[in-house]
Structure 1
Amino acid sequence: MNFRLFRLAPALLAAGLLIAGCRDQQKTPEATTEPTEKPLPKSPAFSADSAYAYVARQVAFGPRVPNSKAHVKTGDWLVREFKKYGLTVREQPFEAMAFDGKMLKSRNIVAQFNPQAARRVAIFAHWDTRPFADKDKEHKNAPLDGASDGASGVGVALEVARVLAAQPDSLQPNVGVDFILFDAEDYGHDDTSQSELTNQLEALGKDSWCLGSQYWAKNLLPAGYKAQYGILLDMVGAKNAKFSREQISRQNAFSTVAKVWDTAARIGYSDVFIFRDMGGITDDHVYTNQAGVPTIDIIDTLPFGDETFPAYHHTTQDNMSVIDRRTLKAVGQTLLQVLYGE
């Protein structure tokens, strides 16, 4: 995934509340009490080991570049996995022109849990990989494993789907959940690392990134799709990942940002979901927001320094060696807790 960083916003500060009380109209020492938070509802456990295995399985297919055999096999496997857990699965095939003029045979995948539910939450991710490691100093033209940038978000989505499907009817959340996986997201032109290449889409006034979500936003599947909110998972599996509160997310779905970050902190992951505001980035949530689904982006970025993304970003370092079970657990357990709070 490549992004354009817009601007930095100040962090929000929380304030405590002090309540003084007395008894029997007698003077007593001043007492203070902390405001009581509503207990979190019980949610099922997210298996980091299972999510890790889902990530590894995708990587084992090879780089999931559109038009490749690995890409086709991975897509077929994803459809089978969702169907195995009883979800209603639809495929959305499309063809899109890449920045270099190549036509990409692609498909978005939509898997619905409890499709009859009126209230719905969307979990978005992209399942393709970037065809070239343009930030890699030694292997600039090599394709990527995309372990974090692509496979991690899908791995978390698959594990959440598996967990939900395993619950009896009495222990299911009060919302339907749609897992929407976008294709051809990462075949874009990077102005900084690919300046020698011509971006043919720029002349047409089109974004070369997020081709799958662009197509879905104009051709909603299911037709007329509505959701209470959406959560985009992108680069959510690496060691020492840090998720800041991204600007477009705050502007379009501030209450969801607050809900997710507060929930993560309450279950012990404030070191991963950090209370820091950052500028806006171009990712699939730009187009899902345009489609009417207020969406936030959970994405690994560097909270300090001049670089926006970790060193593995768009390099051959983005392989299984960067994947960390605790990061997967932090994201997946937070998602389940949020869903069970609806």
Structure 2
Amino acid sequence: MKSYFPLAALAGLLVLTGCPDKTKAPETADTSAPAAPKLPKAPVFNADSAYAFTAKQVAFGPRVPNSKAHVACGDWLVRKLKGYGLKVMEQPFNAMTFDGTNIRARNIIAQYQPTAARRVAIFGHWDTRPFADADKDPAKKNKPMDGASDGASAVAVALEMARVLSQQPDSLAPNVGIDFIFFDAEDWGHDEGTQQGVKNQLDGSGTDSWCLGSQYWSKNLLPVGYKAEYGVLLDMVGAKGGTFTREETSRTNARGPLDKIWNTAATLGYSDFFRFQDTGGITDDHVYTNRAGIPTLDIYDHPTYGDDYFPAYHHATTDNMSIIDRKTLKAVGQTMVQVLYID
């Protein structure tokens, strides 16, 4: 991920904190906190399992396209999803990156309840950036990164959602079908802040250097003619102290689902993670899924204080298993599972 929209950052200056807006009560009214709305029963998301899925991906090594680790991890993802009884499709494609590298990549799509008319998409990216160009140590800027939070944590949350849902009897299944769509080649983009001396060979081509997999998918939908009520892009959702704000493109294109997710998180007690704070837009896979007609919001780790759009581990070698926290995985995963059971 990516980059931020400089102009959109102005929108982030308007900050809303705390809980959803409430009307001030008359002085004579009962001012005790209102009871939280009752949520329908939903399966339990296992944070230990999600943590293990994160560690498994990292153990393959950096999942950089054209590498053996990348191929091995992709094969493992396909086997895992098929093992949960999901309908799995692979979408191979070739692309050129901003530095002129020709890569072989594949998007991975897995459908739970594939015949259901109503559908929700859970998006994520499974590749890692080939260089830690934002690392504070100059000697590490050209080294690959583990991508424990940036990539692996999102895929891990989705895998655990798929595992839990696959165990539910028909009588306890949600009333929607869920499509887990893992994009490839998302993170091999040109960063104007850290790579000023490197020419972006895709500049002017009509192709963004970021999000190559979602750009390909949005123009070649799989399943063909794919439609969903909404989509949720998970990205960097596993780090200790992670916080998620209401990003501008998400608010503009998927305000209803965004409100449902943030309010559900608050009801579950996860407001420390899901902040009622509006921030500017970023370039991420949701830009292209929205263009494909899927109203999509982005859940990604955004510092709630200061001017940084991304946490310190972003595109650095510090994005490793040492920062992954089960509490963050639980907050995101349980919220997402619960939302699927709310009509």
**TM-score, normalising length: structure 1:** 0.94
Q: 2:23 aligns with which of 9, 16, 20?
A: 16
Q: Which runs of 5+ in 2 are unaligned?
A: none
CA contact (8 A) 2:237 2:299 kept: yes
Q: d(CA) in 1 for partners of 2:31 and 2:158?
A: 43
Q: d(CA) in 1 for partners of 2:259 and 2:60?
A: 37
SS in 1 for 2:337: helix
1:119-149 alpha-carbon deviations (Å, 9 max, x no partner): 0000000000000000112300000100000
1:280-330 alpha-carbon deviations (Å, 9 max, x no partner): 000000000000000000000111112211111101000000100000000
Deviation, 1:16, is 3.2
Q: How does 1:1-342 map to 2 (within 5 A)?
A: 1-5=1-5, 6-7=8-9, 8-9=11-12, 10-11=14-15, 14-16=21-23, 18=25, 38-136=37-135, 137=137, 138-342=139-343
Aligned AA for 2:323? V
CA contact (8 A) 2:4 2:309 kept: no
Deviation, 1:30, is 6.6
CA contact (8 A) 2:3 2:284 kept: yes
**TM-score, normalising length: structure 2:** 0.94
SS in 2 for 1:203: coil
SS in 2 for 1:66: coil
Deviation, 1:32, is 7.2
1:127-175 alpha-carbon deviations (Å, 9 max, x no partner): 0000000011230000010000000000000000000000111000000
1:43-76 alpha-carbon deviations (Å, 9 max, x no partner): 1100000000000000000000000000000000
Structure 1 residues 33 and 144: CA distance shift in structure 2, 3 A = closer
Instruction: Give aligned pairs, total.
Output: 334
Structure 1 outlier segments of 4+, above 2 Å: 5-13, 16-20, 29-38
Q: d(CA) in 1 for partners of 2:39 and 2:155?
A: 26
CA contact (8 A) 1:18 1:33 kept: no
Q: d(CA) in 1 for partners of 2:309 and 2:178?
A: 31
Q: d(CA) in 1 for partners of 2:227 and 2:67?
A: 33
Deviation, 1:255, is 0.7
Q: d(CA) in 1 for partners of 2:180 and 2:45?
A: 16
Q: d(CA) in 1 for partners of 2:284 and 2:306?
A: 21
1:75-106 alpha-carbon deviations (Å, 9 max, x no partner): 00000000000000000000011001111100
1:187-241 alpha-carbon deviations (Å, 9 max, x no partner): 0000110111110001323210000000000000000000000000000000000
CA contact (8 A) 2:3 2:283 kept: yes
Q: d(CA) in 1 for partners of 2:326 and 2:48?
A: 7
Deviation, 1:36, is 6.0
SS in 2 for 1:170: helix
CA contact (8 A) 1:17 1:34 kept: no
Q: d(CA) in 1 for partners of 2:124 and 2:25?
A: 42
SS in 2 for 1:64: coil
Q: Which runs of 5+ in 1 are unaligned?
A: 21-28
Largest Rg, 1 or 2 = 1
Using the aligned pairs only, state the percent identity.
64
SS in 1 for 2:331: helix
Structure 1 residues 191 and 43: CA distance shift in structure 2, 3 A = same
Aligned AA for 1:187? W
CA contact (8 A) 2:4 2:280 kept: no
Aligned AA for 2:300? I
Aligned AA for 1:219? N
Moved more, 148-157 or 135-144: 135-144
CA contact (8 A) 1:17 1:35 kept: no
Moved more, 152-161 or 38-47: 38-47
Aligned AA for 2:63? R
CA contact (8 A) 1:98 1:188 kept: yes
CA contact (8 A) 1:123 1:231 kept: yes
Deviation, 1:3, is 1.3
